Structure 1
């Protein structure tokens, strides 16, 4: 660390940090401070650790936020495809544009199904023993988010209700957006979810699977993390607006706990709080303040 120019004041503390987080894991977090193979003068281990801790909290926030979207996507996809085309429509190639891609997704799903059988997952054991297969509403419970995202993104117009409404549009209507955007957003959120699930770095990461933003948000398009937060806000404000208020507050709290860490490597603009509807600290009363005041005044 010192050979790279990092200031390490407490060797024991540094060794303890390294014993809990691999050197090359920590190495990724000081790339922001590094130029021409050397760290900026005066960069300390505490600087790196603050970035590390912010990143950890943001990953947990993203994991929770994406989780609810994933469950909604599974539910809407299973309901509309099975209602329109039957309980085993997910296995029928005629409902998908790219048959090779569909076959690859189904192979992945079959591996998950076999694993679930071995593990004795109740809905899988029940349906396989009684019917010999899983209806879609049970299948989505063992599918990865990636499988659901790929199946939805590969739907053809043949997957339609009798009246002509496509399943792709029906699912997108549940999210109150167009299918074009939902396909992109689910693919992007799957990518970010997998990063979070494997505890990978979000801070200063170049995002390779980008989301296509709404026209009103297109000026924030970029290769860093900010578009992910913007996509989540757009979904939550349409489906769960009250919940977004609480989540935005938690996001603001996370950032405020690490005031020394720049948000620029995450792609956050200066007015990110306004964009994401994050209340300022002054706008929020301290938890339990009124109750404490009452006890103070009344004795």
Structure 2
């Protein structure tokens, strides 16, 4: 298909609103609508138009500007909820990673043992992957930083052997993405299994879910859309659950709802008294006009949604 020149001119806020009205959007309070456009931007809001347009660029009859803003607000609060869950899960993963490795090898500084990591290799795009050296570089930079973390400074001021701090300090330097790469870089499958066992998962599934956690965490951190989204990094399907899970009709792992199920499963291992179901119910009830099926909740075949709340995973 031949490419063409982009020639859409910039529009003033008032003209943006007129464009929406011409396309059938009902705008009872124009001054308030312009205030929202000044805060959020037309382009950012446009991602929330599509479910309300049976015909491209024409809003379904009765769609209001307020409905669009409600959908946007729902998505924002959903990201905050998901981000909070990921933080709690990440802390639990760090804890298990450190504990399982340190106690199994009876070594507070196991991260300095090159033999515990895979040898350097080239990935599919020709870049070198070297988990051990990457982690050592992170530690080295933290020690040499002009204003090091308090715990790093305390260690280097008080100890000279081993040269690096213990693993439980070093792991505080890692992002969730680096944590995911380090797990993938462990040489021994039994090490991976001990960590994954805590979360009642096979190591391959756990590794996939950790990668997906990193991806969705970045979506939340950069305020991108989570509602009505296909995930670019899909969490692996859980075929043999060792704890309460969902039925196979929910196995659309490209959509956000499946990822929410992943969060709930992991949280149930990290903190069985978690409040994800309560908070998710509160969010759905707060925005009753937002079509939550766009999260990826499947239909019952008769025009309604499957009752996700009745699934074993969500009963506690």
Q: What TM-score do you get using the length of structure 1 for normalisation?
A: 0.80
Residue 101, structure 1, aligned to residue 137, structure 2:
no
Determine which structure has the larger helix proportion and give its number.
1
**1:23-102 pair list within 5 angstroms:** 23-34=42-53, 35-85=55-105, 86-90=107-111, 92-97=113-118, 99=120, 100-102=128-130
Higher mean Cα deviation, 211-220 or 178-187?
211-220
User: What is the distance in 2 between the residues matched to 1:225 and 1:80?
Assistant: 31
Q: 1:248 maps to what in 2?
A: 277
Q: 1:202 maps to what in 2?
A: 226
User: What is the distance in 2 between the residues matched to 1:76 and 1:152?
Assistant: 11
- Per-residue CA deviation, residues 204-227 of structure 1 (Å, 9 max, x unaligned), is 111011111322644422211011
User: What is the distance in 2 between the residues matched to 1:220 and 1:112?
Assistant: 45
Residue 234, structure 1, aligned to residue 265, structure 2:
yes
Residue 257, structure 1, aligned to residue 305, structure 2:
no
User: What is the distance in 2 between the residues matched to 1:27 and 1:16?
Assistant: 16
**Alpha-carbon distance change, 31 to 151 in structure 1, aligned in 2, over 3 angstroms:** same
Q: What TM-score do you get using the length of structure 2 for normalisation?
A: 0.76
User: What is the distance in 2 between the residues matched to 1:146 and 1:9?
Assistant: 45
- State the secondary structure of the residue aligned to 2:173: coil
Paired positions, count: 270
RMSD (Å) for aligned C-alpha atoms:
2.7
User: What is the distance in 2 between the residues matched to 1:84 and 1:228?
Assistant: 31
Q: 1:193 maps to what in 2?
A: 217
Q: Report deviation, 1:150.
A: 1.3
Q: 1:297 maps to what in 2?
A: none
Q: 1:277 maps to what in 2?
A: 314
- Per-residue CA deviation, residues 144-174 of structure 1 (Å, 9 max, x unaligned), is 01111111122122x7xxxxxx211111122
Structure 2 stretches lacking a partner, 5+ long = 1-16, 121-127, 299-304
Q: 1:220 maps to what in 2?
A: 250
Q: Report deviation, 1:266.
A: 0.6
**Alpha-carbon distance change, 203 to 124 in structure 1, aligned in 2, over 3 angstroms:** same
Q: Report deviation, 1:126.
A: 1.9
Q: Report deviation, 1:199.
A: 1.5
**Alpha-carbon distance change, 44 to 169 in structure 1, aligned in 2, over 3 angstroms:** same
Partners of 1:202 and 1:225 within 8 A in 2: yes
Structure 1 stretches lacking a partner, 5+ long = 160-165, 280-299
User: What is the distance in 1 between the residues matched to 2:270 and 2:135?
Assistant: 33
User: What is the distance in 1 between the residues matched to 2:71 and 2:221?
Assistant: 19
User: What is the distance in 2 between the residues matched to 1:178 and 1:219?
Assistant: 21
Q: Report deviation, 1:48.
A: 0.6
Q: Report deviation, 1:59.
A: 1.0
User: What is the distance in 1 between the residues matched to 2:215 and 2:83?
Assistant: 11
